[in-house]
A and B are shown apart, each in its own frame.
Chain A
Amino acid sequence: MRVRIRRIAEKEKEQVVIECVEVTSQVEDIYAYAKAKGEEICGILTCTIPEEERSRQIERLALDAILYFEAVDDKVFAYTKEKEYEVRIRLYEIEKNYRSSYFVRCSKSVVLNLMQLEGISPALNGRFYAHMKNGEKLVISRQYAPALKEIVMG
């Protein structure tokens, strides 16, 4: 099977195209793999269980289920509606790689999912509160508020 990579300029137009005579199981595997990549991330479920069991709690998280990522003490955690996972990826990498999935930095230590944002309200001194769909409230610092407004309001 020949494999080619063609570089393009626009991130939004990135796609994988499989040209085949027949859709075999091999082709379906490649299709499923390509579909999963970029839409999922691996995380370790954080809860009070012995260290040796933690390695079995690695789960694949759909990006659209993650409300926000937060960096705490050199670790990065992903928060879904009910669970919390530790992820092995830096916050700046999340900001860079998942921008097209509408993950935007709102403060020094938080990258939030715009699709899981219920709304914002003013806080003091140019800051805003981000109200997430699970009821949690995050702070949007004044440094990052303009970028957030730019993405949504244009």
Chain B
Amino acid sequence: MEELILELKKQIIEALNLEETTPDDIDTNAPLFVEGLGLDSIDALELIVLMEKNYGIKLTDPGKSKEIFKSVATMAEFIQANRTK
């Protein structure tokens, strides 16, 4: 899990162009949106693309997005349980 979390943080930094952020700067359990990294709706789209591209996960239920993208930890848990690649 730790390996997946680190990999995910690196992918988030790259996809969201967080040039001056390192994986260590991202709190695994902190909120991704509004607080914490302060992400917005365009970032949400980037994260959806990231999950599909890198892990083969297509989000079909928009209602679950809020729970999945709550933090890096919740994203990693969802990826581990649902990844197809």
Does chain A bind chain B? no
A interface residues with partner B (beta carbon < 8 Å): none
B interface residues with partner A (beta carbon < 8 Å): none
